[in-house]
Amino acid sequence: MTIHREGYPSIAIATGAFILINLLSFVFISAHVPILAWLIFFLTLVLVLFIISFFRIPNRKLTINPSEIICPADGKVVVIEETEETEYFKDKRIQVSIFMSPANVHVNRNPISGDVKYSQYHEGKYLVAWHPKSSTENERHSVVLANDKTTILVKQIAGALARRIVNYLSVGQKVEQGTELGFIKFGSRVDVLLPLGTKVNVQIDQVVKGGVTVLATV
């Protein structure tokens, strides 16, 4: 397991706060209310460990197959439905949405190899990530990836806790399946918009792993 580079500033701040709070607790509280000092130590330690865990990148054998579309994120499948896509394709698509809780790995990966045809950030609201309108009203970043087999749209969507979406792709760039697409800090959601007729391999409420679980077959 390694730590994602996006986590270094947050981990540094959390560690500094942990040291400062517990130094103050030792000086002003421990002699008079030792139980409270130990409680502060325990709670702040748990917070630091949680933040470190949030930015983890576990060692995994990624799925690489040009005939398959791989899940871009860890989490639970919360939507599989036909929808009208209005941002890029402007036609009907199959939407598969993956909800990422704060406990999930939050690095996002490219579901296919191909060319980046579109990359656009949108400001927006911070509705809970499972809200039906979060796909179109929340802060989000959309990218379109295309190869000779398919063209898909991937949306990184901020949730109620997320306040920063990081996307590494730019138009004209060539990407490889399984490489990093971006990162979303804290609870969030990723939508994948597929062409009609694409065989979806996941089910509602299925727990999936980014870069590993086969989302669909081309």
Active site residues: 188
Place of tokens 């391999």: 201
Angle (CA) 117-162-6 rounded to 5° is 70
Q: In whole angstroms, give the CA distance from residue 93 to residue 184.
A: 24
Report whether 194 contacts 91 (CB < 8 A).
no
- 3-class DSSP state of 103: coil
User: What whole-number distance in Å separates Cα of residue 27 and Cα of residue 15?
Assistant: 18
Virtual torsion, Cα 64, 211, 174, 69, nearest 10 deg: 70
